[in-house]
Amino acid sequence: MSNDFEPLRADEVVSVKNALKLLVGHPTFKVRELKQVLRQILQDYDSAVFIENRDNEKTECFFTKGINADVLRYGAKGWQQGKVRLKFTLEFCPDEPELTETRLPNQSEISEPESPLDEIRRMQG
């Protein structure tokens, strides 16, 4: 297995043994479903992910516009003020790379089965 993880798209389907089944409720799910569950867990845990706007509607600022935060980054000279937001990404790394078929320019897509006589002809030629 290599270590070449690639992000999965929201509509791609994942099947797991047991680990994430507790979160999603079933072993086969779309990436979008897992993201929704994780988002809901955070919202239930801490209302800071919501900020009320002037229409008294709550918006998910932690996932969209970001929330105010101070960050101490590697190589920085001190704390920086700004915003942080959370993005969920589920990545996949195949155990074996996908094989791609290559064919010569003159090779037809459907190859003819080899005749038992071809071996005899090669021996004579």
In tens, the pLDDT along 22-55 reads 687 888 889 999 888 888 887 777 666 666 555 5
Inside any domain, residue 125: no
Inside any domain, residue 62: yes
Number of structural domains in the chain: 1
Inside any domain, residue 96: no
DSSP the chain: -----EEPPTT-EEE-SSTTHHHHSSSEEEHHHHHHHHHHHHHHH-GGGEEE-TTS-EEETTTTT-EEEEE--TT-SS-EEEEE------EE--SSPPP-----TT--SSPPPPPHHHHHHHHH-
pLDDT attached to residue 8: 93
Inside any domain, residue 29: yes
pLDDT attached to residue 6: 92
Domain limits for position 33: 1-91
Inside any domain, residue 47: yes
In tens, the pLDDT along 70-89 reads 999 999 899 999 988 888 89
Q: Across residues 98-123, what is the average pLDDT?
A: 65
Q: Is the pLDDT of residue 94 over 60?
A: yes
Inside any domain, residue 78: yes
Inside any domain, residue 45: yes
pLDDT attached to residue 64: 80
pTM, rounded to two decimals: 0.58
Inside any domain, residue 38: yes
